Copies of this chain bind each other. A is one copy, B any other.
Amino acid sequence: MIELWRGGLCESLHFGHAVIADANGVVAAWGDPGAVIFPRSSCKMIQALPLVESGAADAHGLGGRQLALACASHNGARIHIEPVAAWLDGLGLAEADLRCGAHLPADPDERRRLICALESPCQIHNNCSGKHAGFLTLNRHLGAGPDYVDPDHPVQRAVRRAFEEVTGEEAAGWGIDGCSAPNFACSVAGLALAMARFARPGDGRRGQAQRRLVKAMIAHPELVAGEGRACTELMRAAGGRAVVKTGAEAVFVAILPERGLGVALKIADGGTRAAEAAITALLVHLGILAEGDPVVQRYLTGPLRNWRGLATGELRRAEGFPA
């Protein structure tokens, strides 16, 4: 799907699976559309559906910023951690109620602040803390116990139900995600179909929730990831015409409301650089981004430069991908 070239030779290459779907099913596919994958964080907008559909979001007065954070894999910058902390506070909860674990944030300023203050990061810095704040909000609404990441907990049972409904598949299994929540497996085609349903939502409660989550992500690309991150930069370049979301191990999805299309892809080896290049290639292919856009150069057409700024190589679309 994506190759790395250096000195006129193909140095490394990435295989993958990709599907473009509309609400009726597969429109185009590369690799194996039936390949079973873990969507990882790419399905956070699906995991947020019960939060909205249950009425929990409205009962707690959540706005677009909080819904965008619920769908985010954020950088842990101040713009991410301050609203999540306030959100927990509004629930009468604290950082210790989260179950996502702590890691150093990707945001360079907050990272530097912690390192130089010899402070440990907290769970609010975790890139999934917005999703977990959403889980806790749903949990408050359901009145269930504190272990909301248990796959048998009512929160996760609701997530699984929504996941199976929008992918049109019974989950092929589940694994424990980096943030300790269960992550359900589906085919690449099922994930693309789910995204197509977000792109062309119906009029019922499901459709209203999908429309609201898409609107929130499009309105706040800086909350969905952060400065310098592919999701944020690709969404900004798409100018409201696409939701773009990454997941660990090289998953990417896109929701294209204007076209009524959903996109899902997985690089087989889990290589993020190739997933970013492949989703960029598909957004160009679908007319969402122009080939000459700086963001396309950044994630796909290069060139790659070394520490002295010399051009050393480039990423290329493999023959037949996407056209």
Contact = CB atoms under 8 A, between A and B. Distances in A.
A136 to B, nearest CB: 16
What is the predominant secondary structure among interface residues of chain A facing chain B?
loop
How many of chain A's residues touch chain B, expressed as a range?
Answer: 35 or more
Nearest to A103: B307
Interface in A1-45: 4, 6-9, 11-15, 36-38
Given A112-B115, A175-B313, A312-B175, A306 B101 contact: yes
Given A9-B175, A173-B7, A306 B115 contact: no
A294 B38 CA distance: 29
Given A101-B308, A179-B307, A269-B274, A36 B13 contact: no
A305 to B, nearest CB: 10
Q: Closest 6 CB pairs between A and B?
A: A7-B175, A101-B307, A12-B270, A6-B175, A101-B308, A269-B269
A12 B178 contact: no
Given A13-B269, A14-B269, A8 B308 contact: no
A115 B308 CA distance: 20
Contacts of A47: none
Contacts of A270: 4, 11-12, 271
A14 B271 CA distance: 10
Interface string A243-276: 0000001100000000000000001111100100
A38 B308 contact: no
Contacts of A274: 269
A86 interface: no
